[in-house]
Amino acid sequence: MTTAARASARTAPPRPSWLSMTAGRMRYEITDFMRSREQMVFIFALPMIFLVLFGTIFGTDDLYGTGVSFGQYFLAGMIATGILNTGFQSLAISMAIDRDEDVLKRIHATPLPPTAFFTGKMLQVLFVSIVQIAILIAMGVGLYGVELPTDAGHWWTFTWVFVLGTAASAVLGIATSSLLRNGKAASAILTPVVLVLQFTSGVFVVFTQLPGWMQDFASVFPLKWLAQGMRSVFLPEQFEAVEASGSWQHPMTAFVLAAWFVVGLVVAVRTFRWLRAEDR
């Protein structure tokens, strides 16, 4: 190596680490999200509107003589569906649009490692979900008298349900983005799917008031378990007895959410594409 080459090597800026590239990607994803009014309304405003509407209409109903109002019950469901919307629906739609507009193609052509890109996406979903949940909890406490847990056990349950639910929703969103033919059809396809899950999973309707076959159908999908897990955190212990199984079913909740995470991960790894179908 010549003297000039050695001097150039010494003065060259250090190559960015994986952590710094991931952090940079996360910051970009959060900034891009904050600039999108449509996503902001969908993620933040709609759950707040639904919480106020349904909580006001049915808020004073005492469910099964447990002292739990529908507004309190509804909060847990809105937190659960907020996690699903942020990680599954919103991520699938945005990535399908990015593929159509060749954004993913250009990212793939850069030195950014794919793992840093996807980790940045996951961290953005995690950040947005935390903000959304904090807003919903504040509304639940202020409007419907929801009492927050005071012991570590309930907050530990909240943590693992939240982390597993967010991870499963995000990988399912990434996987689904590649199964959609184009970004224009993404919203029309996914919105009815999410609505069906919401009405059958105990979000807009008390789960035990649904027909048995609907309960069996919802039990296959993660939203039902997300909502039930959040109810176990924010509702009093006496409500456990009136759940469909008479139990919070924490082991089953963890199993179903983890299983959907594995399914989503496998499908995402096998099917994800950076290019539009016609460009391959």
Please work out, in degrees rounded to the nearest 5, the angle formed at the alpha carbon of residue 277 by the alpha carbons of 276 and 278: 90
pLDDT score of 106 more than 70: yes
Predicted local confidence at residue 37, as pLDDT: 77
Whether residue 159 lies inside any domain: the answer is: yes
Evaluate whether 231 touches 249 at the Cβ level (below 8 Å): no
For the chain, give the percent of residues with pLDDT over 90.
49
Question: Tokens standing for 67?
Answer: 């002292």
The lowest-confidence range among 52-66, 67-81, 149-163, 235-249 is 52-66
Confidence of residue 256 (pLDDT cuts 50, 70, 90): very high
Q: What is the mean pLDDT of residues 194-200?
A: 93
Condensed to tens digits (0 to 9), the pLDDT of residues 47-61 reads 888 888 887 777 666
Q: Residue 5: inside a domain, yes or no?
A: no
CA distance 173 to 264: 8
Which pLDDT score, from 0 to 100, does residue 61 have? 66
Share of the chain above pLDDT 70, in %: 92
72, pLDDT greater than 60: yes
**Which position has the higher pLDDT, 113 or 62?**
113
CB 140 within 8 Å of CB 51: yes
User: What does residue 211 show for φ and ψ, rounded to 5 degrees?
Assistant: -60, 155
Residue 42 pLDDT greater than 80, yes or no = no
pLDDT at 229 over 90: yes
Is residue 10, in this structure, part of any structural domain at all? no
In a domain, 118, yes or no: yes
Quick one: average pLDDT of 200-211?
A: 90
Q: Is residue 255 part of a domain?
A: yes
- Does residue 2 belong to any structural domain of this protein? no
The model carries a pTM of 0.89
Q: Which domain holds residue 70?
A: 17-279
Output the pLDDT for position 59: 63
Q: Is the pLDDT of residue 145 over 60?
A: yes
What confidence score (pLDDT) does residue 12 get? Answer: 52
pLDDT reported for residue 187: 84
Work out the average pLDDT over 145-159: 91
Total domain count, the chain? 1
In this structure, of 35-39, 225-229, 241-245, 247-251, the range with the lowest mean pLDDT score is 35-39
pLDDT at 10 over 60: no
Residue-wise pLDDT tens digits, 119-140: 999 999 999 999 999 999 999 8
